[in-house]
Amino acid sequence: MSGSTMSEIDQFWAGASAAGRARYTNVKLIGAGAYSVVARAEEVATGERVAIKRIGEVFYDALEAKKVLREIRLLRDFHHKNIIGLRELVEPASMETFDDIFMVTDYMESDLRRLIKSKKDMQSAQIKSYMVQLLAALQHVHALHSIHRDLKPANILLLTSKVTDQYPFGLLRLCDFGLARVAGGNEASKRELEAASEVESELDALRIDGAKPQGKAAPPPLMPQMTSYVVTRWYRAPEVILKEPYSAAIDIWAVGCIFKEMLELVPQSRMRTGAIFPGRYCIPFSFGEDQRDRQRHDQLTVICRVLGQPTQAEMSWASPDGQNEVKRVSNGWSTASEVDRKRVQLQKLQDAVATASAEELQLLQATLSINPKQRPTAAQALKFAYFKDLPPVQMPEITKEVDLEVIQAAFKFEKETLGLNELRVLISNDLFMSQESIRERSASSHKHA
């Protein structure tokens, strides 16, 4: 069992069917997220390594069940080399009474968080390879009218053991779509996004090999638990902090934050400062309204300090309340012209990443535009001069935008008030579709054997 006892493995598989369990061998528990336990295993039919995430007590309330259904359908629809793949859902022992979900995904060795935290040197070509893969993944997500909403280094997985001409430094895959949304879906409550900055991502266990599993995942506590690595707020765009309407541009802001962290790891850099906007209130001791206001104001203050005092024109997209809040934390508006303001911002970014080239700064500045309407789309970012010398084999294909009605049809449950029994039926249907896919794959493999 490679460190996992038989009783731990049996506990992990509790609720799964015998047939589903038999499809996997060499199971090893590798960690626990906030609401889940994750194991590494090998698929008997192919010998390939996989990760199996067991989500416990899915039906303890309708919101949790909807979240699980949303993630299943998003992963099912995202077919892209740079997005973690949902291989199957292991069928439960009972379709009528099951409470746990077993999601089987690709296994990845590490993640960008661990690489950045190691503070080891990264070659410029390596950073460029990771950036093009990350933008390719987001372009695909956005083409399906979806927003990731929780982009951070821990949600960017790496497989460095398999190097190809297309991925000379290893394969990158985007994961954890638990907070993702599709266009037209109900937006999450204010509390949901705030909680995301205080609780570790559920799929973090996929990247913490050797962490001590906590047994059966229990329903989330009434109040979020504090963790040792709470940084989601650092990658949060101004429009989200201000609780303004937002778009896929919030993912591009996060890309800029991540890009800065990688850029300062080049060998010639002596800086290893980490996050570009490290708000101080990242592990609050109170969850009251006053505390959350302090956190929001602090994060805005950090952004305005690093990027410089914004002009009123830069904030024209925000509501009067949002504009007043930024004006307050930045001690007024800058009176600089648009050209001068961009020059000041560029110099401040150069100060933050002293070794960055002009082309790197150009992309960094664009992705970190305070005005979300001025940020490039993922497809537009891939056309920046920064990528001009990238070998053709490394340039990704651009996904054509999918018909919005097709996407909304698969997620119409978002707008419906559904009871637990109705949600159980919907998830059961997805489980049945998973079994159909397994049978088709098995038949195909025997046909070509």
Mean pLDDT calculated for residue range 333-345: 95
Q: What is the pLDDT of residue 352?
A: 92
User: Helix/strand/coil (H, E, C) string of the chain?
Assistant: CCCCCHHHHHHHHCCECHHHHHCEEEEEEEEECCCEEEEEEEECCCCCEEEEEEECCHHHCHHHHHHHHHHHHHHHHCCCCCECCEEEEECECCCCCCCCEEEEEECCCEEHHHHHHHCCCCCHHHHHHHHHHHHHHHHHHHHCCEECCCCCHHHEEEECCCCCCCCCCCEEEECCCCCCEECCCCCCCHHHHHHHCCCCCHHHHHHCCCCCCCCCCCCCCCCCCCCCCCCHHHHCCHHHHCCCCCCCHHHHHHHHHHHHHHHCCCCCCCCCCCCCCCCCCCCCCCCCHHHHHHHHHHHHHHHHHHHCCCCCHHHCCCCHHHHHHHHHHCCCCCCCCHHHHHHHHHHHHHHHCCCCCHHHHHHHHHHCCCCHHHCCCHHHHCCCHHHCCCCHHHCCCCCCCCCHHHHHHHCHHHHCCCCHHHHHHHHHHHHHHHHHHHHHHHHHHHHCC
Say which residue, 200 or 39, is predicted with more confidence. 39
Q: What is the pLDDT of residue 69?
A: 87
Q: What confidence category does residue 205 fall into, taking pLDDT thresholds of 50, 70 and 90?
A: very low
Mean pLDDT calculated for residue range 85-108: 91
Q: Say whether pLDDT at 323 is over 70.
A: yes
pLDDT digits (tens, 9 = 90+) for 17-71: 999 999 999 999 988 876 789 999 999 999 999 999 999 888 888 888 888 888 8
Q: What is the pLDDT of residue 269?
A: 86
pLDDT digits (tens, 9 = 90+) for 405-424: 888 888 888 888 888 888 88
Residue ranges of the annotated binding site for ATP are 53
Give the total residue count for the chain: 449
Mean pLDDT check: name the lowest of 45-49, 127-131, 391-395, 426-430: 426-430
Residue ranges of the annotated binding site are 53
Q: What confidence category does residue 296 fall into, taking pLDDT thresholds of 50, 70 and 90?
A: low
Rounded-to-integer distance, Cα 22 and Cα 18, Å:
6
Q: What is the pLDDT of residue 36?
A: 84
Please name which of 202, 245, 230, 191 lies closest in space to residue 57, comparing C-alpha atoms.
Answer: 202
Cβ atoms of 151 and 258 within 8 Å: the answer is yes
Mean pLDDT calculated for residue range 142-151: 93
Q: What confidence category does residue 72 fall into, taking pLDDT thresholds of 50, 70 and 90?
A: confident
Q: Say whether pLDDT at 288 is over 50.
A: no
Q: What confidence category does residue 79 fall into, taking pLDDT thresholds of 50, 70 and 90?
A: confident
Cβ atoms of 299 and 201 within 8 Å: the answer is no
Q: Is 150 a catalytic residue?
A: yes
Q: What is the pLDDT of residue 249?
A: 95
Q: What confidence category does residue 100 fall into, taking pLDDT thresholds of 50, 70 and 90?
A: very high
Q: Say whether pLDDT at 137 is over 60.
A: yes
pLDDT digits (tens, 9 = 90+) for 159-190: 998 899 999 999 999 998 878 888 654 444 44
In the predicted model, what is the mean pLDDT of the chain? 83
Q: Say whether pLDDT at 117 is over 50.
A: yes
Cβ atoms of 12 and 1 within 8 Å: the answer is no
Q: What is the pLDDT of residue 421?
A: 86
Q: What is the pLDDT of residue 287?
A: 40
Say which residue, 440 or 120, is predicted with more confidence. 120
**Which is catalytic among the residues 150, 176, 204, 251?**
150
Q: What is the pLDDT of residue 171?
A: 96
Percent of the chain at pLDDT exceeding 70: 80
Q: Say whether pLDDT at 318 is over 60.
A: yes
Q: What is the pLDDT of residue 360?
A: 98
Q: What is the pLDDT of residue 209?
A: 38
Say which residue, 182 or 371, is predicted with more confidence. 371
Q: Say whether pLDDT at 217 is over 90.
A: no
Dihedral of CA atoms 175, 181, 183, 184 in degrees, nearest 10, equals: 160
Say which residue, 221 or 334, is predicted with more confidence. 334
Please name which of 75, 67, 232 lies closest in space to residue 141, comparing C-alpha atoms.
Answer: 75
pLDDT digits (tens, 9 = 90+) for 297-314: 688 999 999 999 999 999
pLDDT digits (tens, 9 = 90+) for 343-355: 999 999 999 999 9
Q: What is the pLDDT of residue 281?
A: 56
Q: Say whether pLDDT at 284 is over 60.
A: no
